[in-house]
Amino acid sequence: MKNDVMEKKIRVAIANDHTAFEFRQPIIEYLKKTGYQVLDLGSTSAKPVDYPDYGFKIARTISDQKADLGIAICGTGIGISIAANRVHGIRCALTYEEETTRLARLHNNANVLALGARIIAPEKAVELVRIFLETPASNEERHQSRMKKLN
């Protein structure tokens, strides 16, 4: 029996600056292993690049519906999340631990998860990605009305 991920073929974009070119590898491996379709938009070397370019790239990919959800990574996650959130329809949440990751999806229907490569361990990042992808958005009216205001 195929799992839900395989049947839905959820498309997950990942974008990162130079600080996360190695950090992202366990995340990509996890995504592929668990059946997600991966769209790699990130830098693949330590050569310095500008995080806003990658924040905008992942946000446009999500807003253009070329991917369903995204993972954005820079040194702290702050800069890339600010860049992504400048694109209409993007709700990029920067998290460092489990509960805010869960609530970012559940209450805010975040469509991009931002992570800090210099802040958390790669193993922790994989766990946060798992939580982000497995948590559905709430259908409660109070959350839906807030999403309408954000849009």
Q: Is 74 a catalytic residue?
A: yes
* Cβ(126)–Cβ(30) below 8 Å: yes
Q: What DSSP element (H or E) covers 84?
A: helix 78-84
Beta bridge partners of 113: 71, 93
Catalytic residue, candidates 18, 88, 107, 143:
107
Dihedral of CA atoms 14, 53, 100, 69 in degrees, nearest 10, equals: -40
DSSP string of 29-44, one letter each residue: HHHHHTT-EEEE-S--
Dihedral of CA atoms 138, 143, 145, 151 in degrees, nearest 10, equals: -80
Among all chains, which residue has been given the structure tokens 């974008």? 15
Q: Is 143 a catalytic residue?
A: no
Catalytic residue, candidates 18, 74, 88, 143:
74
Active site residues: 74, 107
